[in-house]
Amino acid sequence: MLVDEGVAGTRPAHIDLNFGCPVPKVTRKGGGSALPWRRILFRDIVRSAVRAAKDVPVTVKTRIGIDADHVTYLDAGRTAQDEGVAAITLHGRTADQLYSGTADWSPIARLVEAVDIPVLGNGDIWEADDALRMVAETGCAGVVIGRGCLGRPWLFGDLAAAFSGTPRRCLPTMAEVAAIMHRHATLLSQEQGEVHGCTDFRKHVAWYLKGFSVGSDTRRALAMVSGLDELAELLAAIPDQPYPVAVLGAPRGRTSPPRPVALPEGWLADRDDPRPPAGAELEVSGG
């Protein structure tokens, strides 16, 4: 195992096993949301992780299944519980749905009834009130945020306020968002170097600016920014304006139509085959 010198000796709060990723480069190797179908392999991986982690809690994230004909979440939840997992997160979509349509929260409620460990809900939580509604409708112990926080890191403050019973919600002005954007790029630059950090930041620009009135030339320039001073100059030229409340509750991030899941050859034939597919054990994966 390779250990980064910067994190050697530190202790993680928990270790999360992500069996929810639906992207083809992951599922075609038998990983992500494809893996729970192979229930013995899934059990063995979870068991090994829990034992190796010792007193560090292990959590699991999964989807409803591969598709409507290959549902796995109840088996996966019970197996995870039996192997000592501390909590399980369920995304309310099958793998073939990717991020299309509307998440179905009813399986989250069924999983809550099926296991004794905490169940965390995931899928289409765009605002803090969505989280409150999910907990009320499903009985889940908490929520996991994915696309909802893209360009909106203050969502977590809203969630903390909502769960504490406070009605306050953050609606930052454009000037406040600009300051957050620059801080975001600065932190990336400190970690990766300025050029790489600003390049990495580009993908966040459209999410931060969603709904704001910003000229196309400025948006294009921000999407090609390569330095912090350049970023600051471009942001300073955007007129201050109130938060665009019209975008509240709207989906953010990736959307795509449903499509068949890319799987290893013969993957669905035997659920009890414990062998990982050939080529699955890579040092670096896309998951």
Alpha-carbon gap, residue 92 to 73, rounded angstroms: 10
18 sits in which H/E element:
strand 15-19
Per-residue confidence (pLDDT) for residue 253, from 0 to 100? 84
User: What letter does residue 142 receive in the DSSP assignment?
Assistant: E
91 sits in which H/E element:
strand 87-91
Which alpha helices (H) appear in 115-154, and where do they start and end?
A: 128-138
More confident residue, 255 or 23: 23
Q: Which domain holds residue 237?
A: 174-242
Stretch 100-108: mean pLDDT, rounded? 97
Residue 149: active-site member: no
* CA trace torsion 53, 55, 61, 66 (10° rounding): 50
Are 159 and 178 within one domain?
no
**Res. 3 pLDDT band, cuts 50 70 90:** very low
Are 154 and 234 within one domain?
no
Are 141 and 72 within one domain?
yes
Are 154 and 36 within one domain?
yes
Q: Number of C-alpha atoms within 13 angstroms, CB side, residue 87?
A: 17
213 sits in which H/E element:
none
Q: Which residues of 105-115 are buried (b: 16+ CB within 10 A; e: fewer)?
A: bebbbebbeeb
Are 153 and 65 within one domain?
yes
* 88 falls within a domain: yes
Are 148 and 194 within one domain?
no
Stretch 106-132: mean pLDDT, rounded? 98
* Average model confidence (pLDDT) across the chain: 93
* 5 falls within a domain: no
SS3 60: strand
Q: How many domains does the chain have?
A: 2
> Tens of pLDDT along 190-246?
999 999 999 999 999 999 999 999 999 999 999 999 999 999 999 999 999 999 999
Tell me the pTM.
0.91
Alpha-carbon gap, residue 43 to 17, rounded angstroms: 12
Are 59 and 123 within one domain?
yes
- Give residue 106's identity as a one-letter amino acid code: S
